[in-house]
Every structure is written in structure tokens, then in C-alpha cells.
Amino acid sequence: MKDKKDLRSNTKSSKKLMLVAQIIAGITAVIFFVMLSRGIANAAISHKISNQYQDRDLSVLKAKTNNKSLAFIGRLMKSTSDVVITNDNRNEYKKIESLIQDRKNRSKEVTDLFNGRHDYQDDVSKQSLDDLDNVLLNEKNQDVYQKQKNKLDTVRIWFEQTSDAKRYINKMWDKFNSNKSSLSIKEMSMLNTYYRLIRNKKVKQDLRDPVEQMNSSAKQNKGESSKVRTAKAELEELKNSPLTEKYKPANVDIVSSLKFSSGASDALKDAGITDKKVLYYDKSKGRLAIMTNVDGNYVASDGYINVQSGQVPSGKYSIKAIIRNAGSSAAIVTDSSNSSFGKYIASADSDTLSSLNITNADNDTANYNSADPVFWFKNNSALSSSIYFGSGSTIGFIYSGGTSYSNGVQVNSSNLSQLQASLNSGILFFVK
């Protein structure tokens, strides 16, 4: 009997040991499963977070983050305890959320500058533009920064153009009211050019009535301009002069009274240039001028314009186009091997480009010197209002604002407007 009792006791002990062993094994399995899940989950999250960066060490986000992937991580973190998701990953997720939100905030600030597609808001000022310009520097992704910067620069150019236009129109309005007479043809041309450059609805509305009154007065006063009267006087003098006097033709373009620059005139003559009108750029003096040929000498008919920055090789170029408010599909062919190199296309679509044997035309290159096979104006807002010049192998621009580029001439916005009003395609551009 004793042996049987010992046997039963041993059996119960064995069962208890087996039960304990099973419990321990179960706990171990659970711990192993949790740790395995924890490791897999955190590795996956870390991988997905890393994929949002262009450079994680420098905290440079990709231009386009994966919103679906980030939304999944967010839901996972909300539904999972801290036991599974590490604090490091939670902190990394919060950091990336903050970076994305900051980017959205900057983008909204830029968008809020616009009042529709072609105007800026009334509360825009030079200070607000400068402040936002500094804020945009917090964006570390160069592509995103450049797009935001381009939009800001677009508004800055509009703001400067509008400010210049307001000053000029008010000046002409004061002159008009003080003299009680219509303005000259040139003044009216400049007046209407400036008015078209205004990119603020309120400013345009405020100036509409003065501009209409000055235009109306100019139409009613169709008398001869001072230039025509002076030219007629010269003709009368010629008629009454003795036959022995050397013939001197009447100068209809009354610019001979202006002092001509012997240096500029000599430089143009030495280059074999005889065109009636030439856009002249003296790099050594950093200035531009529209030169008019008067009796064999060149004079700066509208004076000289100071150049802010210029990087154009000496030589002869041609004004290809006067660019005003280039649209999102405006482009220039930059493929040097293409027979249409340098061609300006106001509205370039796939059919147009295909007819020119151009494929894979999409790019976001802001520097027209390196864009290939076309340069898109939408990539560089500073050139949406500019003067396009070129030669057989070169394209270049006269423009306001933006960045300094090779084959580029930077002037202020009012001087650019003056040049745009006075020039047209085909005029020779000579760089000394």
C-alpha cells in the first residue's frame, strides 16, 4: 500500500511540474511573440519614416511625402501601446509631422499672397514679402523651396511693378491737372504700359478714372505733336535757305538736340552697325541704352539705364520677343541640335513639341542655360515678364528680380517696363 501511495504522490507532483512547465512555456511564447511583433513593427515604422526623407541626417524631407504611409503609421501608433512602439519611433513620427505641417503653413502663406491668378492681395507689403522670404529658408528641400520662392518672387515683381506704375501714373496725373493739357505721345504710351502692368485689383480700380480721363483728353487733342511741328519748321527753313547752302535733311526723329556718346557711337560704327535703332549694353560701365542713328551718329534717345547685374559675352544678338505675362505652357526650345533652337512657343503642348521632334520635354529647371530640351517659363517666374534675346547658339534675357544667370541682364522693374514699351522683336542688341 505504501508503494502505491508513493506512486500516486509522485504522479501528482509530475502533473504539477508539467502544468508549471506549460505555463512557463506559454508565457515565454507570449513574450517571444510580443518581442518579435515589437521588433517587426518598429523596424517597419522606422523604414517607412526613413522613406519620407531625402536626407534623414539633415532632416530634409522628400518633395512629395507618402501621406498614405504616414496615415497608416499614425493609426498604428494610436491603437498600439508603448510596449510595442518605441518612444524613439513615436518621437520621430511627431518630428516628421511637425516638418510636414511647417511646410504646409509656408505653402499657405505663399498662396495667400495671391488674389486670383493674376493679382496680389491688398495687405501685401515689401516688409511682408521680406519676412516671408526669410521664413521660406526653413524649407531644406531645394525643389520645394525653389517652387515656393518662385511664387513669392512672382508676387514681389507684381508688387514692384504696381508700385512703380502707381508712382508714374500719379506723377502724370499731377502734371495733367497742373498744366490742364494732354500729355505727350510718349508719356501716354508709358502711362498705358504702366497701367497694364498693375497686378492689384484695388490699385487698378483707384487709378482707372485718372487713366481714362488722360486717355480721353489725348484723343480729343489730335493736334500736331511738338516733334512734328519742329520737323515742319526745319523743312520751312530748308525751303527758304539759299541754294548754295549745303543740304541738310529734316530730322523727323527730333533727337539731334541730345548729346550723343562718342564712345558708344564709335563702338557701334567699329562693329559695322548701321541700324536705325540698337539696344546697346556697355558692360564696363554697367548700363543699357536704346541708341538711335542720327546723321551717322548714335544718341541715347531715352537716356541710360543702370544694370544691376549682367553676364553676357560681347557680341551681336537679336531681340527675339517681348515677354509679358508668360503662361504656364510658354517655352523656348533649348536643344542645340534641334533646327528650331531658340524658338519661342507661347503655348507649347505635346502636339506642338512633337511636330518639332521634341520628346521628354518635362523638367523643372529654373536656369534656362541648363534646361533641356526646352525651357519652361513656369519654372522661373522672374522671366514671365522679360525681354528675350539670342543668337544662333545662345538664349538670354533682360529681366527684373530673381537670380543672376549667365546670358542674363538684370534691371529694375520700371526700367524693364520702359524697355518693353520701346523695343520690339528684331531689333539688334549689341554688347560691348
Residue 197's beta-bridge partner residues?
A: none
Specify the amino acid at residue 227: K
Please say whether the dihedral angle defined by the alpha carbons of residues 287, 290, 295 and 296, taken in this order, is positive or negative.
positive
386-390 and 315-323 as β-strands: parallel, antiparallel, unpaired? antiparallel
Distance CA 341, CA 337 (A): 7
Evaluate if residue 262 carries a pLDDT over 60. no
The verdict on whether omega for the bond into residue 373 sits within 30 degrees of 0, i.e. cis, is: yes
Distance CA 389, CA 281 (A): 13
Confidence band for 81, pLDDT divided at 50, 70 and 90: low
Share of the chain above pLDDT 70, in %: 78
Specify the amino acid at residue 163: S
Confidence band for 9, pLDDT divided at 50, 70 and 90: low
Nearest to 143 by CA among 428, 389, 369, 365: 365
Predicted local confidence at residue 21, as pLDDT: 52
| Cβ neighbours for 317, distance < 8 A, ≥ 6 positions apart | 389, 390, 391, 394, 396, 428, 429, 430, 431
Averaged pLDDT for residues 245-266:
47
- 58-74 pLDDT per residue, tens: 888 888 888 787 877 77
Cell of 268: 557701334
Distance CA 301, CA 291 (A): 6
Written in H, E and C, the secondary structure of the chain is CHHHHHHHHHHHHHHHHHHHHHHHHHHHHHHHHHHHHHHHHHHHHHHHHHCCEEECCCCEECCCCCHHHHHHHHHHHHHCCCCCCCHHHHHHHHHHHHHHHHHHHHHHHHHCCECCCCCECCCCCHHHHHHHHHHHCCCCCHHHHHHHHHHHHHHHHHHHHHHHHHHHHHHHHHHHHHHCCCCCHHHHHHHHHHHHHCCCHHHHHHHHHHHHHHHHHHHHCCCCCHHHHHHHHHHHHHHHCCCCCCCCCCCCCCCCCCCCCHHHHHHHHHCCCCCCEEEEEECCCCEEEEEEEECCEEEEEEEEEECCEECCCCEEEEEEEEECCCCCCCEEECCCCCCCCCCEECCCCHHHHHHCCCCCCCCCCCCCCCCCCEEEHHHCHHHCCEEEEECCCCEEEEECCCCCCCCEEECCHHHHHHHHHHCCCCCEEEEC
Evaluate if residue 2 carries a pLDDT over 70. no
The pTM of the full predicted model, rounded to 2 decimals, is 0.50
Predicted local confidence at residue 298, as pLDDT: 84
- 362-412 pLDDT per residue, tens: 999 999 999 999 999 999 989 999 999 999 889 999 999 878 899 999 998
Q: The cell 505653402 sits on which residue? A: 107
- 214-238 pLDDT per residue, tens: 888 877 765 444 445 445 555 555 5
Predicted local confidence at residue 31, as pLDDT: 45
Averaged pLDDT for residues 156-184:
85
Residue 120's beta-bridge partner residues?
A: 114
Confidence band for 255, pLDDT divided at 50, 70 and 90: very low
Confidence band for 243, pLDDT divided at 50, 70 and 90: very low
Distance CA 271, CA 432 (A): 9
- 310-345 pLDDT per residue, tens: 999 999 999 999 998 898 899 999 998 999 999 999
Predicted local confidence at residue 421, as pLDDT: 84
Confidence band for 80, pLDDT divided at 50, 70 and 90: low
> What is the Cα 133 distance to its own chain's centre?
13
Evaluate if residue 98 carries a pLDDT over 70. yes
Confidence band for 146, pLDDT divided at 50, 70 and 90: confident
Predicted local confidence at residue 240, as pLDDT: 52
Evaluate if residue 273 carries a pLDDT over 60. yes
Averaged pLDDT for residues 242-252:
40
Phi, psi for residue 395 in degrees, rounded to 5: -120, 145
Predicted local confidence at residue 247, as pLDDT: 36
Cell of 383: 522671366
Higher pLDDT, 50 or 7: 50
Predicted local confidence at residue 177, as pLDDT: 87
Cell of 83: 510596449
Cell of 44: 517597419
Predicted local confidence at residue 259, as pLDDT: 40
Nearest to 156 by CA among 90, 220, 102, 110: 110
Predicted local confidence at residue 386, as pLDDT: 95
Confidence band for 180, pLDDT divided at 50, 70 and 90: low
- 185-194 pLDDT per residue, tens: 778 878 888 8
- How does 103-142 read in b/e, with b if 16+ C-beta sit within 10 Å? beebbebbeebbbeeebbeeebeeeebeebeebbeebebe
